[in-house]
Structure 1
Amino acid sequence: MNPIPTAPPVDSPPAPDGAGPPTRRQRRRRRVGRFTPRDIAVIGLLLGLPLLLDLALIWGPALASIGLSFTSWNGISEIEPVGLDNYVNIVSNYPPFWPAVRHNLLWLAFLGLVATPFGLFLAVLLDREMRFTRFYQTAFYLPVVLSLAVVGFIAQLIFSRDYGAANAILGRTDNPIDWLGDPSINLWSVLLLVGWRHVGYVMLLYLAGLKAVDPSLKEAAAIDGAGEVQTFFRVVFPALRPVNVIVLVITVIEGLRAFDIVYAINRGRNGLELLSVLVTDNIVGEASRIGYGSAIAVILLLISTGFIAVYLVQVFRRDEA
């Protein structure tokens, strides 16, 4: 049979200018063109107002503190530039500075190495849907709703030398222990209550993260013969990496911004010195050394961002690998 002849292909006419597929810029213009002036005004208000508040309340004071840290100013007289003199005097001639740095680092280490793992442990237990799980969640989370100032007053009720519950429980009413007045132990007494509050917050974050873990991962690990401990550390815990980043940031912030609990106990003195208290004493106190206090605030800012930046860099490198 002879093959059926086919018509030769007809060249399609060239597309007129602008008739091709729209470019990215054209699609963007079309999307923007769909908004009415009222929509643009509402979007600008919703985005611009939070941005202005962020600049005015966070970035503005932070940049102002950095600038004032290189000056000598008491809030009334003229601002005098002093260069790095504030930092040099803080490091070499300010006795409360190094004890405050040590206390802040101890605070951070206690929250990160004791309170945070204990909160993770409670989250793992409550994730198993044991009896009275809701009651336990409420009981452990209840301290989180209390401010640290209220926790400071609770510390006085528990650890007071004369009428505290701790000495009564230990039977030390005749020879009481000065839990809050002894500089060698008062920091640890306060850290117990701070950890009590921090555990509930960490527990709630990890419990939400555990609920989001795919159950098929645990089932696959069980089929491969992994035990509960191996499954958690090799399967579940790596899946909690986003929660770990959040918990780390919160822990660093809680460890370095601590102020109100020690200020409610003894105004941050006699063994409870913290960097935040030194900032307040120098800026708001009788000395009113705003430049000096701003320098301490900048040091506190550098310490906090340093911890977070190092950890985030490691996390991003692991993700890329």
Structure 2
Amino acid sequence: MSSASQAHDPAAAGARTKVPARRRRRMRKMTTRDRIVVALLLGIPLLLDLAFVWFPAIGTVLLSFTKWNGVGSLHTKSCVPNMPSILNNGCVYGVQNYHQAATIYPEFWPAVRHNLIWLAVFVVIATPLGMLFAVLIDRGIRGSRMYQSILFLPVMLSLALVGIIWEFVYSQNYGLINTVIGRNGNDNAIDWLGNPHLNLWAVLLEATWRQAGYVMVLYLAGLKAVDPSLREAALVDGANAWQTFWKIVFPVMRPINIVIMVVTVIESLRAFDLVYITNKGINGLELLSVLVTTNIVGETQRVGFGSALGVVLLVISLVPISIFLYQTFRREESS
């Protein structure tokens, strides 16, 4: 039967209209159940996110304007100047915590500088190194599976175990480095983790060792998702491997680049474990995350002041992420 005859055939037209009608009835019958399922799938993660992320974050911001040691009730009265801190529990302190951190707290600016150095090392060294590993492994070199497992092994280990492993490398008395250079156990042994001029770079080497493997896995996932026809087309056009990667492959991996950028910033600014294991974040290893911990759960227990440091860390982490995402999305809209 031709299409013209079908258009004028009432039976055919009725058959076409009955199927959507049945589907609509089926959808109406499933609407209530679907709404319940959708509500559960969206509601439970949303509640968990609010309970464990947003409420603590908002609470931290509010506590940063108070002077509270974590004991006793929190009142809305103003702090009385020149009064002992034990008598000022639970009072509103305004921006004094931020002012004290920036002016009279000696560890604050060294911690900010060390966090920025940590971020720079991750961006300039760890991320390109992980990308290089991913590109080499993706090319299918001999033993690529073994290399991938070896490079990813530090990511599978806890940061506490990573710190213990590197302790055997850096130790002044029995460390691998001092043994190799012939300074093990004598007066000329280098104190890699105790010297404030060396310990930050020593710990950064540990962190880079682990971060490079993490970035490698993310880039490997991105490289596997690239359409092979793009590389074939570039090869036909006469592009070499370097040009193919930077002109074709790397721009296509923009979503994974965004993820890696965000992960790099977060990992660099929340660094805590390695530093705390080494020397509890003192003597040249001050970091904002360590200062937050020592002020909130340490001996001083200045919850308000520690919360202010946490807010500063949050703002520092949001600035580069926001700028990067803004630039990326603006380029996508203009293209």
Q: Which amino acid aligns with 1:294?
A: S
Alignment correspondent of 1:294: 307
1:60 aligns with 2:55: yes
1:182 and 1:269 mapped to 2: Cα distance?
11
TM-aligned CA deviation for residue 33 of structure 1? 4.8
Identity of aligned residues (%): 57
2:110 and 2:25 mapped to 1: Cα distance?
59
Cα deviation per residue 1:135-177 (whole Å; 9 max; x = unaligned)? 1111110100112111111121110111111111222223210
Alignment correspondent of 1:269: 282
Alignment correspondent of 1:12: none
Cα deviation per residue 1:74-126 (whole Å; 9 max; x = unaligned)? 11244211111111110011000001001111111111110110110011100
Give secondary structure in 2 for the equivalent of 1:163: coil
Given the two structures, how large is their TM-score scaled by the length of structure 1? 0.88
Q: Indicate which of 231, 250, 253 corresponds to 2:244.
A: 231
The 1:31–1:291 alpha-carbon spacing in structure 2 relative to 1, beyond 3 Å, is farther
Q: Indicate which of 206, 220, 225 corresponds to 1:193.
A: 206
Q: Indicate which of 297, 307, 331 corresponds to 1:284.
A: 297
Which runs of 5 or more residues in structure 2 are unaligned?
A: 1-19, 75-89
1:222 aligns with 2:211: no
The 1:93–1:52 alpha-carbon spacing in structure 2 relative to 1, beyond 3 Å, is same
1:102 and 1:136 mapped to 2: Cα distance?
35
2:290 and 2:222 mapped to 1: Cα distance?
35
Which runs of 5 or more residues in structure 1 are unaligned?
A: 1-21
* Contact 1:150–1:261 (CA under 8 A) maintained in structure 2: no
**How many aligned residue pairs are there?**
296
TM-aligned CA deviation for residue 30 of structure 1? 8.1
Alignment correspondent of 1:92: 103
Q: Which amino acid aligns with 2:159?
A: L
Q: Indicate which of 30, 34, 37 corresponds to 2:30.
A: 34
1:169 aligns with 2:180: yes
Alignment correspondent of 1:110: 121
1:76 aligns with 2:71: yes
1:170 and 1:29 mapped to 2: Cα distance?
80
Q: Which amino acid aligns with 2:30?
A: R
Given the two structures, how large is their TM-score scaled by the length of structure 2? 0.84
* Contact 1:159–1:166 (CA under 8 A) maintained in structure 2: yes
TM-aligned CA deviation for residue 31 of structure 1? 4.3
2:316 and 2:42 mapped to 1: Cα distance?
31
Alignment correspondent of 2:77: none
2:321 and 2:137 mapped to 1: Cα distance?
29
Alignment correspondent of 1:6: none
Q: CA RMSD in A?
A: 1.9
Cα deviation per residue 1:26-62 (whole Å; 9 max; x = unaligned)? x99984652345x544443333222111111110100
